[in-house]
Amino acid sequence: MKDLLKDTLYPAAMLMLLVGAWLAGVYLLHLPPYLLPSPHDVFDRLTGDFGYLMWHSGVTTFISLAGFFLSIVIGIPLAIALVSSKILDRTLMPWLVLSQTFPKVALAPLITVWFGLGMGPKIGVTFLVAFFPVLISSVVGLRSIESEMIELADSMKASRLQKFWKFRLPMALPSIFAGIKVSVAFSIVGAVIAEWVGATQGLGYLLLQANASLDTSLLFAVLICLTVIGVVLYYSVEWLEKMMIPWHATVRLKDRL
């Protein structure tokens, strides 16, 4: 109970400080609503359009999760393949790195032209944004096993599969989860980018509509929805990390602080 109170007290205090500064800035500087709406206006918009915002939030959350899970399903097995095969690593890794130099905002319209306006292309854009952190962190984690652990496995006459499941993968999990946490945050960005092109639903679509009509109260309401989605997804992954690797130093240290 004490840990839960500590975890919520500091973020709540920071939130109150930010809202207070926001409120003071609006009234002291006499800013018009089209430049910066008051917290009260944004709250009224959130409550007044709650069902409307929740519908679009559900669409964005679905796209984000689909692209995120796809990045895990493809990224981790590909990382295992790259670590297991030097030929595959030398062949694919330069192209994978090169693929990240292309801005995803520029690729989104092209993907839409090729594959249409359905959910598939939007999930594909989200996957492209979220994929690389999972891949790189998994590769780094799988390669970072200490030589002493390999020698221990050899002394126990472990097979190659046993070395992977009992030694290499458990030691790589902290690094893999670090990449997954970055990926889940990037998936929200990817979903918004995807919804900027040819979409009729989703929070990215609402951002474009609010920007075109200078509806800043709607814009702030959408940003709050995106923030809530991102925080919930991130801490969900962090909770899963605690469940799967409670033995790791980073998890135990965080619990003690």
Instruction: Quickly state the pLDDT bin for 66 (edges 50, 70, 90).
Output: very high
Asked if residue 154 has pLDDT above 70, the reply is no
| Average pLDDT across the chain, whole number | 82
Q: To 10 degrees, what angle do helices 119-143 and 50-84 make?
A: 40
Rounded CA-CA distance 238/245 in Å is 10
165 with 109: CB under 8 angstroms? Answer: no
The pLDDT value given to residue 165: 74
The pLDDT value given to residue 254: 54
pLDDT in tens, 17-63: 887 787 777 777 777 777 778 888 888 888 888 888 999 999 999 99
Structural domain spans, the chain? 58-256
Rounded CA-CA distance 243/72 in Å is 18
Rounded CA-CA distance 39/17 in Å is 13
Residues 6+ apart with CB under 8 A from 150: 163, 167
Higher-confidence position of 144 and 148: 144
Rounded CA-CA distance 170/9 in Å is 34
pLDDT in tens, 170-199: 888 888 999 999 999 999 998 998 888 777
pLDDT in tens, 17-30: 887 787 777 777 77
For the residues 3-26, what does the mean pLDDT come to? 73
Q: Which CATH class is domain 58-256?
A: mainly alpha
For the residues 231-249, what does the mean pLDDT come to? 82
Higher-confidence position of 167 and 236: 236
Give long-range contacts, CB 8 A cutoff, 24+ apart: 236-243.
Answer: 236/184, 237/177, 237/180, 237/181, 237/184, 238/181, 240/177, 241/177, 241/180, 241/181
For the residues 146-165, what does the mean pLDDT come to? 70
Asked if residue 6 has pLDDT above 70, the reply is no
Asked if residue 147 has pLDDT above 80, the reply is no
Of 144-148, 196-200, 235-239, the range with the highest mean pLDDT is: 235-239
The pLDDT value given to residue 12: 75
Residue with tokens 């295992």: 80
Rounded CA-CA distance 24/11 in Å is 20
48 with 215: CB under 8 angstroms? Answer: no
Rounded CA-CA distance 65/78 in Å is 20
The pLDDT value given to residue 248: 60
